[in-house]
């Protein structure tokens, strides 16, 4: 069964509305709601005093109406009394200014008072509801690191020192961070502070380690809640909703390993003409973390309220995007939120039940979608191409000043991904340390920070086709440039030496496209696949081949046409074909009528229309 539902915030409504909600949920075939996401202030009106009366009633009501509950732990927004009572709760920005209470997700992840109150709250919730028959899933916090992804306060500074001591000696810190530069040598851990506002650029090693520390600090919060939940309900699914693929602060791969189910919140930008491709990429990333089906935990039924301009979704577009989730390995389609709020910061964010009720286009589509999903099943997908994705590299590459602020990791990844997407060739993502042998091709869009040399070498030796993009093999895990030269540790695999890079003043063009960057590549044993200012090389070694793409192109279609020998499916731009084990999905993300041949049959697609073919 496909999960269908939404964040449900009944605390904003009177009881007569709750009853209408039950009727409408059933009418729309909603089978699960995410409850209690922002419930803390109501549940704990003063320190240690709990009031579960509303939540009790709601859990029972949902159960009576056969709607399951993904119960949230409510720790994403602490009550005002907690922020005001303990000084360490509110986070500090780079300038050590307090980020004040008054919205949500405003807590320092290392605050002992936040941690203690959150722990006690979660214990109370879990003890109370772990046997409730409506409970089917746990929803830890909400979008960790949204709004507050980094804190620079003294508590964090102290914990950072402890974290560092657990990893390195003081001598190692000095060595890794290269503190010989600019007189930055440390003689005591107590002198180390977070990368707060500084006169000039802070030490890159410090910045990188602080990012790692913050990601781990937030992960500790998740683990704290996870352990409490598992102590009472070891077999129940635990998730925490991730944000989209632009969310850099958290190493989601690491998190996903611990979570039973990956879920994420998708808000494609209606003004971005390639939003559907970017959204598909994130679906693929989310499925790939565990190589398992994920849940689309939130999307907007119609418009959002938080961009500067928030156009509505086109007719059918919301249903199309819901199908896209299934077509990339989703097993649930949910929304923010069930009923559009009348008050508060998000009152102009759409809901499944809009301000103007059930006669609206949004409600009609919500109801139609529920009926469509009720007869569908989760699907399974196979990819022979993998894209290597690495959080540490992302964090390191984007330290500025660098050679070029245009070298943005997600942009590079997307520009490569687009080739496969446009050719309807399925892609998985793989991560640091994973085995690559299941794939015919592994593409590493950028490995500025290189730490999987062994895995890459082995893959090529055993017959893999490894492709690596420009500005790779520059630094090790401590962000120190390889003393033997760029790409030196992979020189034998790629059969090249990289002697430097050029950031072009203006974009140039050759037969393969437009490029803004080129590496200076010296060929050793590799063959030249292309040689016009930018070099593309191929080295046959072991049983496989290693390709190096020595330039940053804005479109890799012609480049990859030289290398990839897989045939996808032909389709117009904006029309996507996904072949699963149960269904084929034809998705039209354009506002035009489209037609498409699939295995000898011609299919007509309405604007923002889709077609599901049963296999
Ligand atoms: C998400 C968040 C929801 C809601 C939604 C609005 O980031 O988890 O609570 O704010 O955005 O689009």
224 CA distance to ligand 1 middle (Å)? 23
pLDDT-derived band at 551, boundaries 50, 70, 90: very high
How far CA 230 is from CA of 122, 140, 242, 258, in Å, comes to: 12, 12, 20, 12
Under the banding of pLDDT at 50, 70 and 90, the label for residue 300 is: very high
- Supply the residue whose CA is at minimum distance from atom 11 of ligand 1: 336
Residue 598 φ/ψ, nearest 5 degrees: -130, 120
Q: Using a 6 Å cutoff on CB, does residue 265 contact ligand 1?
A: yes
| Residue spans per domain, the chain | 3-88+105-148+214-373, 385-561
* Ligand 1 contacts CB of residue 365 (under 6 A): no
Q: What is the pLDDT of residue 329?
A: 98
pLDDT at 89: 98
365 confidence band (pLDDT: 50, 70, 90): very high
pLDDT the model gives residue 188: 98
Mean of the pLDDT values across residues 535-550? 98
For residue 401, whether the previous peptide bond is cis, meaning omega lies within 30 degrees of 0, is yes
Q: What is the pLDDT of residue 247?
A: 85
* Cis, peptide link before residue 292, omega less than 30° from 0: no
> Mean of the pLDDT values across residues 80-85?
98
Q: pLDDT category, 401, cuts 50, 70, 90?
A: confident
Ligand 1 binding pocket mutation candidate from 143, 241, 334 (most atoms within 8 A of CB): 143
Active site residue 225: no
* Residue 220 bears catalytic tag: no
Q: Is the pLDDT of residue 245 over 80?
A: no
Say if CB 328 and CB 284 are below 8 A apart: yes
pLDDT of residue 68: 98
Confidence of residue 558 (pLDDT cuts 50, 70, 90): very high
Confidence of residue 615 (pLDDT cuts 50, 70, 90): very high
Question: Does the pLDDT at position 297 exceed 80?
Answer: yes
Pocket flag, ligand 1, residue 346 (CB < 6 Å):
yes
Catalytic residue among 298, 317, 365, 378: 298
Give me the phi and psi of 222, to 5 degrees please: -60, -45
Question: In the chain, pLDDT over 90 holds for what percent of residues?
Answer: 98
Q: Which CATH architecture has domain 3-88+105-148+214-373?
A: Alpha-Beta Barrel (3.20)
* Band of residue 453 on the pLDDT scale cut at 50, 70, 90: very high
* Statement: the pTM of the whole predicted model exceeds 0.95: yes
Beta carbon of 303 within 6 Å of any ligand 1 atom: no
- Asked if pLDDT for residue 246 goes beyond 90, the answer is no
Closest by Cα among 497, 509, 575 to 539: 497
CATH 3.40.50.12160 assigned to domain 385-561? The reply is no
Does ligand 1 lie within 6 Å of residue 302's CB atom?
A: no
Mean pLDDT of 564-577: 97
Mutate to test the pocket of ligand 1, among 336, 345, 348, 350 (most ligand atoms within 8 A of CB): 336
For ligand 1, whether the C-beta of 422 sits within 6 Å is no
- Residues 165-219 have pLDDT tens digits of 999 999 999 999 999 999 999 999 999 999 999 999 999 999 999 999 999 999 9
Catalytic annotation, pick one of 44, 143, 225, 378:
143
Task: State in Å: Cα 11 to ligand 1 middle.
Answer: 17
The rounded Å distance from CA 492 to ligand 1 centre is 48
Model confidence at 6: pLDDT above 80 = yes
The finding on whether 142 has its CB within 6 A of some atom of ligand 1 is yes
Distances (CA, A) of 480 to 46, 189, 192, 212, 397: 50, 21, 20, 16, 12
Q: What is the DSSP letter of 90?
A: S
Confidence band for 589, pLDDT divided at 50, 70 and 90: very high
Ligand 1 center to residue 7 CA distance, Å? 9
Which residue has the CA at smallest separation from atom 4 of ligand 1? 336
For 163-172, the CB contacts below 8 A with 24+ separation are 163/213, 163/216, 164/189, 164/192, 164/209, 164/213, 165/189
Arithmetic mean of pLDDT over the chain: 97
Q: What is the pLDDT of residue 277?
A: 98
Residue 607: pLDDT band by 50, 70, 90 thresholds?
very high
Q: Decide: 298 in ligand 1 pocket, CB within 6 A.
A: yes
Mean pLDDT, to the nearest integer, of 143-172? Answer: 97
- Cα-based distances in Å from 168 to 152, 157, 177: 21, 16, 11
* Distance of CA 336 from the midpoint of ligand 1 (Å): 6
């Amino acid at each position: 069964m496909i999960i269908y539902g939404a964040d449900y915030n009944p605390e904003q409504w009177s009881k007569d509305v709750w009853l209408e909600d039950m009727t409408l949920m059933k009418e729309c075939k909603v089978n699960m709601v995410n409850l209690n996401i922002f419930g803390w202030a109501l549940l704990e009106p003063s320190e240690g005093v709990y009031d579960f009366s509303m939540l009790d009633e709601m859990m029972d009501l949902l159960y009576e109406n056969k709607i399951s509950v993904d119960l949230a732990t409510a720790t994403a927004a602490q009550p005002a009394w907690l922020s005001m009572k303990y000084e360490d709760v509110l986070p500090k920005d780079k300038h050590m200014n307090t980020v004040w209470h008054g919205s949500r997700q405003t807590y320092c992840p290392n605050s002992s008072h936040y941690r203690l109150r959150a722990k006690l709250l979660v214990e109370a919730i879990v003890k109370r509801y772990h046997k409730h028959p409506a409970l089917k899933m746990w929803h830890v916090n909400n979008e960790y690191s949204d709004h507050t992804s980094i804190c620079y306060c003294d508590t964090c500074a102290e914990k950072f020192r402890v974290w560092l001591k657990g990893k390195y000696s003081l001598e190692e810190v000095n060595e890794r961070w290269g503190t010989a530069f600019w007189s930055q040598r440390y003689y005591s851990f107590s002198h180390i502070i977070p990368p707060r506002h500084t006169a000039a650029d802070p030490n890159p090693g410090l910045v990188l380690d602080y990012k790692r520390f913050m990601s781990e600090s937030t992960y500790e919060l998740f683990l704290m809640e996870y352990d409490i939940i598992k102590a009472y309900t070891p077999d129940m699914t635990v998730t925490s909703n991730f944000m989209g693929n632009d969310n850099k602060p958290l190493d989601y791969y690491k998190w996903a390993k611990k979570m039973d189910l990956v879920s994420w919140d998708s808000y494609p930008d209606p003004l971005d003409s390639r939003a559907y491709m970017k959204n598909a990429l994130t679906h693929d990333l989310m499925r790939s973390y565990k190589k398992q089906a994920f849940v689309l935990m939130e999307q907007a039924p119609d418009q959002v309220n938080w961009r500067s301009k928030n156009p509505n979704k086109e007719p059918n577009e919301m249903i199309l995007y819901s199908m896209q989730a299934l077509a990339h390995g989703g097993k649930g389609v949910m929304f923010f939120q069930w009923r559009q709020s009348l008050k508060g910061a998000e009152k102009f964010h759409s809901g499944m039940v809009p301000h103007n009720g059930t006669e609206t286009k949004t409600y009609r589509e919500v109801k139609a979608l529920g009926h469509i999903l009720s007869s569908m099943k989760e699907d399974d997908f196979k990819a022979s191409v993998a894209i290597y994705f690495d959080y540490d590299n992302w964090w390191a590459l984007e330290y500025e000043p660098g050679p070029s602020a245009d070298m943005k990791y997600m942009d590079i990844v997307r520009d490569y991904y687009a080739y496969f997407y446009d050719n309807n060739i399925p892609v998985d993502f793989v991560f640091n340390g994973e085995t690559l042998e299941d794939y015919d091709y592994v593409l590493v869009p950028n490995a500025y920070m290189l730490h999987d040399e062994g895995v890459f070498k082995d893959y090529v030796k055993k017959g893999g086709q490894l492709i690596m993009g420009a500005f790779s093999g520059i630094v090790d895990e401590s962000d120190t440039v390889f003393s033997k030269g760029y790409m030196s540790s992979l020189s034998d695999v790629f059969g090249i030496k990289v002697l430097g890079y050029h950031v072009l003043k203006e974009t140039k063009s050759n037969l393969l496209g437009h490029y803004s960057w080129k590496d200076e590549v010296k060929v050793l044993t590799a063959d030249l696949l292309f040689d016009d200012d930018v070099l593309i090389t191929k080295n046959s070694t072991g049983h496989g081949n290693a390709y190096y793409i020595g330039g940053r192109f804005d479109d890799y279609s012609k480049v990859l046409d030289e290398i990839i020998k897989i045939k996808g499916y032909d389709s117009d731009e904006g029309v996507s074909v996904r072949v699963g084990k149960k269904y084929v999905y034809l998705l039209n993300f354009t506002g035009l009528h489209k037609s498409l041949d699939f295995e000898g049959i011609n299919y007509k697609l309405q604007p923002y229309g889709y077609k599901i073919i049963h296999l």
